[in-house]
Chains A and B, each alone.
Chain A
Amino acid sequence: MIKKAYTVYMGLMLFFLYAPIAVLMIFSFNYSPSRNYWGGFSLRWYRDLFNDPHIPQALFNTLVIAVLSSLIATIIGTIAAMGINSLGRKTKSIIIGVTNLPVFNPEIVTGVSLMLLFVFGIRVLGFGEMGFATLLMAHVSFNVSYVILSVMPRLRRLDGNLFEAAMDLGAPPMRAFVQVVLPAIRPGIITGALLAFTLSVDDFIVSFFTIGPGVNNLSTLIFSMARRGINPRINALSTIIFIVVMILLYIINRRDSKKRKEHLA
């Protein structure tokens, strides 16, 4: 009974979350370029999308930045979390406090301050310019905090002696890490990486300030279009992305449940 009520509730929430996406997808088939005016069914935006000179590049940048930044942030964050975990109480609280800052900080402040940092850095170094690299660094830098904050609680729960015990038994540090520590903190690492990926894909404000001349990701491209008209090609692109993600999700889910069944049998 309660489960049924919850299922209904969950359905409503999913409807709330997906209704705008459905609207977006429906309007990708709108012949008219207007956002609220239905001009008949058409695939013209899909055709245009494949001939568009910028959108594929922006999509590519978004994905590469998301994958690389979440990967790098996960590595840096996990190692840092292990280091932080081994510290004394006082230093630990200071470092965690600082790590929390990007989470608390208004995104716009993060964006602007990173832009200032990069400008300053470029002047000091005397070479380089804002672009792909600065965008990547900016994304890594806000992602690292989220990874650390995801991994820390897992580490805290892990018995600190386990690692040492494994080494005492003759395991080299790398092996002790891979076989003892890693499995225990894996859920934290996975949520951290997933969150980092999501935040990177979803980010607009920080990208807006740290991107350079001639480089765009989807967010900045859409924003610059917004002032004088969002091109429905973007809707078409989102529809394709959505469908691809859903298919992937379905495949993964099926494989998982198959595994689970095999496991039970």
Chain B
Amino acid sequence: MKRIFVYPYILWMSVFIVAPLLIVLWFSVTATAPDGTVFTFYHFTRFFAPAFEGQPFFQRIYIAVMTRSIRLAVVSTIVCFVLGYPLAYALAKFYSHRSFLLFLFMVPLWMNFLLRTYAWLTILEQNGVLNAVLSFLGLPTVDLLFTDTAVVIGMVYNFLPFMVLPIYTVLRDMDNSIIEAAQDLGANRVQVFLRVVFPMSMSGVISGLTMVFMPAVTTFVISNLLGGGQFILIGNLIERQFIHVGDWHFGSAMAIILIVIILFMMGLIKLIDRQPKEPDGATVERGTLY
């Protein structure tokens, strides 16, 4: 009888998730011709087309932008993971005021996203806060703003909490008796971590990777502000088409290409995850958040 709960949701889902995507798909394969709307794959071929005969694939302008976006997103995701896992572990295992500490990591997200990113400008500038501190300490100054590094810092800063949260949740709920059992069986700390704790936290890790990679690969605000408009990413391309150029068909085609690539990357991440399947076969829930 609980099944009736699902029907309203299916309706909701069709209207607010499926229908909008179908509209985007529609735009991506149509064009406005003088005599009405026509079907075409022109927008897709345009994306992959070379500028001149025999231009190497990865040097083609839109492909180059795409690969750069993916590279920066992967770097940011890895940095978030390296910084975030120990943090989640510490939060879950060592402190009594866990929820308070967790809140401390969430609060920055309630300050406006644009403002937080703007604040980094003030920090990273040539005559900014960071260099003022460095020169005060007698250290050489750095010129980070408007570089790749600044974009990565901005992404890590904005998305780190999304890595910490899911990993923390999994670690917190982990049954400590399993760890104790492993210790009783003579495993040392490193072994316990590598063989027991880490594999068991895999579902959280995967949600974390997903939740960081997604926004990182599609952002256009961070690359605009901290990259000084020089690190044009796929998100910028899509935004340009919708807002500045007004070619919604090409923009939609780019969006579809991006979605396909993201689904492919998600498939890759899933391959890493070798956790045994749940008895009810709930493998689809690997992307589980909490």
A residues sitting closer than 8 Å to B (CB atoms) are 3, 6-7, 9-10, 13-14, 16-21, 23-24, 27, 35-36, 76, 79-80, 82-87, 89, 92-93, 95-110, 112-114, 116-117, 120, 137, 141, 144-146, 149-150, 152-154, 156, 163, 173, 187-188, 191-192, 194-195, 198, 201-205, 218-219, 222-223, 226, 230, 234-235, 238, 241-242, 245-246, 249, 252-253, 256-257
Which of chain B's residues has its CB closest to A239's CB? Answer: B111
- Is A103 in contact with B290, judged by CB distance below 8 angstroms? no
Q: Which of A17, A79, A92, A108 interacts with B220 by CB under 8 Å?
A: A108
Contact residues in B for A92 (Cβ distance below 8 Å): 282, 284
Number of cross-chain contacts by CB at 8 Å? 254
- Where chain A touches its partner, the secondary structure class is helix
Given contacts A153-B290, A156-B282, A249-B103, contact A112 B86 (CB under 8 A): no
Q: Which residue of B lies closest to A97 (CB)?
A: B284
B10 within 8 A of A: yes
Chain A contacts of B118 at CB under 8 A?
24, 35, 226, 230
B residues in contact with A19, CB < 8 Å:
123
Of the listed residues B2, B21, B217, B218, the one surrounded by the most CB atoms of chain A closer than 10 A to its CB is: B2
Q: What number of B residues sit within 8 Å (CB to CB) of A?
A: 94
Q: Does residue B116 face the partner (Cβ distance < 8 Å to A)?
A: yes
Contacts A6-B94, A24-B115, A108-B235; is A150 near B290 (CB within 8 Å)? yes
Given contacts A17-B160, A101-B21, A105-B259, contact A201 B284 (CB under 8 A): no
Residue of A nearest to B24 (CB): A113
A98 near B18: Cβ-Cβ < 8 Å? yes
Task: Count chain B CB atoms within 10 A of each CB in A27, A105, A106, A116 and give the residue with the most.
Answer: A106
Question: At the interface, is chain B mostly helix, strand, loop or mixed?
Answer: helix
Q: CA–CA, A256 to B101, complex, Å?
A: 13
Cβ-defined partner of B5 (8 Å) among A10, A82, A257: A82
* Inter-subunit contact B119/A23 (CB<8 Å): yes
The listed residue with most A CB atoms (<10 A of its CB), out of B10, B17, B217, is B17
Contact string, B164-199, partner A, CB cutoff 8 A, digits 1/0?
010001000000000000000000000000000000
B125 within 8 A of A: yes
Known contacts A17-B105, A150-B290, A234-B115; 7 additional CB pairs below 8 A are A6-B90, A36-B127, A76-B12, A87-B6, A100-B287, A117-B20, A201-B109
Min CB gap A208→B, angstroms: 9
